[in-house]
A = this chain, B = another copy of it.
Amino acid sequence: MKNKICAIIGAGQGLGQALARRFAKGGYTLALITRSEEGGSAALIAAQEAAPELAHEYYQADATKPKELEDTLKKIILNKGDITTLIYNVRGGYAPNDPLDMSYNDVESILNLEVVGAFAAAKSVLPDMLTKSSGNIIFSSATAAFRGSGTNPLYAIGKFGLRGLSQSLAKAYGKNGVHVTHVRLDCELDVPDVRQWMGDEFEIDKTSNVDDVAETYWWTHEQPKSAWSNEIEIRPYSENWTY
């Protein structure tokens, strides 16, 4: 029997490695894709520790370059077999900025990463999923996909576009048995970047644990096809509910 393959684009040290661990634990062979090898090695180790018997692998690709990403995914399929679960887990930088300080290139880059790259990933695996009438595509997203931001406009613009893509794919291909899910992370994650960025203000209880978050990815991927969720929200119990 062939291995089940899960490809994660954006398999870094944060949520990426928790997703790698969870899906490895669930019997998947992981294909882990990041832009830099440094980010990917944490996820690779996590997968190997969770399921040492499976041939997890790391691949380097830049998700802002759709052809490069497509070629990498095709190479994975050729080497390891068809991808049955695809997780697109990228995001741009944290730095806030005034909208007027955005360059045209900034806007194009975030749209390339969040929308064109997400489409390239889906396009690379969908034909096979349609043939088999099964498969999961999960997009990591955020509350920024639901409301614009005067201080982080790039993040909002990208995630809005990603959500439009996700809904369009769900509506087009759900009936063919492909489960497309948009996960709204309405939370700060307990990851190294956030700890560093928040400094003394970091409170673990105000953040979501990445392994806890990964449980929900696993669960939605397990939903029977008569009862799917297409958009899922996640937040800690301590949510301050600013709205």
Contacts and interface: CB of A to CB of B under 8 A. Distances in A.
A150 B168 contact: yes
Interface of A: 66-67, 98-100, 102, 104, 107-108, 111-112, 115-116, 119-120, 122-123, 126-127, 144-145, 147-151, 153, 156-161, 163-175, 177, 179, 187, 190, 205, 207-209, 212-213, 215-216, 219, 223-239, 241-243
A151 B223 CA distance: 25
A119 B213 CA distance: 30
Given A164-B159, A241-B171, A233 B235 contact: no
- List the 8 closest pairs (A to B, CB-CB), nearest first: A148-B167, A160-B164, A243-B243, A150-B171, A150-B172, A153-B168, A148-B168, A212-B227
A29 B151 CA distance: 34
Interface centre among A116, A150, A160 (most CB of B within 10 A): A160
5 contacts: A99-B172, A100-B172, A205-B226, A216-B227, A243-B243
Contacts of A187: 227
Contacts of A147: 167, 243
A243 B123 CA distance: 24
Given A100-B126, A111-B161, A226-B236, 17 more contacts: A66-B104, A102-B119, A111-B111, A144-B164, A147-B167, A148-B164, A150-B241, A157-B168, A158-B164, A160-B161, A160-B164, A174-B239, A175-B239, A213-B226, A227-B235, A228-B234, A229-B232
